A and B are shown apart, each in its own frame.
Chain A
Amino acid sequence: MAVLDVNGLRTHYQRMAARDPVGEPPIAVFVHGLGYDSLASFYLTLAAPVSEAGIDVLTYDLRAHGRTERPATGYTLKDFVGDLGALLDGLGVDRPVHLVGNSFGGTIAFSFAAAHPHRVRSIVSIEAEPATVPWADKMGRTLVNVVDEMGKEENLRWLAETFGNHHAKLARAAHGIIRSTSIVEEVPTGPLLSPEELMEIRCPVLSIVGSEGFQQDDLTAVQDALPNCRTVVIEGQNHSVLVERHRTVRELVLDWVAQHDGERRAA
């Protein structure tokens, strides 16, 4: 297992080298979501086909997730952004990266781009939005709801009976993170981005959303808040865009990187 000390935490990451690279290949960094999630969501879906298409791939387990250490505190976006920067530094990645973020992973991508614009070539945001005041309200409510509902044994039984043991196990794991850390209190605190700061995120952004997903009330809200963003809506899809529609996401990501790294080479 590949492990690196990142800001004092043993951090699990996986790299897949570009197959048959031409010159210095583009690099895509996959950032997973909160709670249920780990780098496995990307490892089992996009990582191999993207690397086979000639793109270097890096993905990692966020603090407290998967095989990365779980500190009791330290869960603001500043911490998550700091981890991503330290991981890239530790692995010697100094060229601009294509950040592909799923759910909260996309939120980290936006905050990282705001803090380090020169390090980000583009962003693919999957069912994600930047850390704004409305995001914090929604995130706070969702996390409190998760704490209230997921700890109840009858709800875990219902999950197991309705969706299978797999979902109940994932829910238990997520609840373990929530119980043993300050993640619920810290994540909604941001730091949040102002409308002016969002307009400074000038890299190209592709926002992929499910028509029945977390942004169903306003599918183009992310595009409207950013200067250089376009939206792709996956019809009839809930929040699980990455896992349930991974072939569609793969094609979108491959086209996107080819388009935007072509620009870089031409320049």
Chain B
Amino acid sequence: MTTTTVLDELRSMLVRVLDQYGLDDLEITRGTSFHDDLGLESIDLVTLGSLLVEHYGEHVNLAAYLAELDLDSVIALTVGDLADFVIARVG
């Protein structure tokens, strides 16, 4: 699975998560941060976690990944970080 494919899939999930905020023309790159750039709340990460499981299966467990990070790292998390995690889990 290529990084481009995963980034595209993450983009469509983020559009679903952010739909409630009326954002539909998202430009998302590896460097886009969930918190500062997209304004995701922690509860949005829970929704994203459910979408990841739905799409990739139980082994892409965002909660398990984030539980190993410090709060500062969770706040600084980027789309690239998440893409690398997905690729490592899915192969």
Contact = CB atoms under 8 A, between A and B. Distances in A.
A48 B45 contact: no
Interface in B53-68: 61, 63-64, 66-67
Contact of B64 (A52, A67, A243): A52
Interface residues of B, number: 19
B90 interface: no
A67 B41 CA distance: 12
A11 interface: no
Contacts, number: 56
A173 B41 contact: yes
Contacts of A40: 41-43, 45-46
Q: How large is the interface on A (under 10, 10 to 19, 20 to 34, 35 or more residues)?
A: 20 to 34
B67 A46 contact: yes
Interface in B13-61: 35-36, 39, 41-43, 45-47, 49-50, 61
A1 B50 contact: yes
Contacts of A49: 64, 67
B46 A43 contact: yes
Interface of A: 1-2, 14, 16, 38-41, 43-49, 52, 61, 66-67, 164-166, 169-170, 173, 243-244, 246, 250
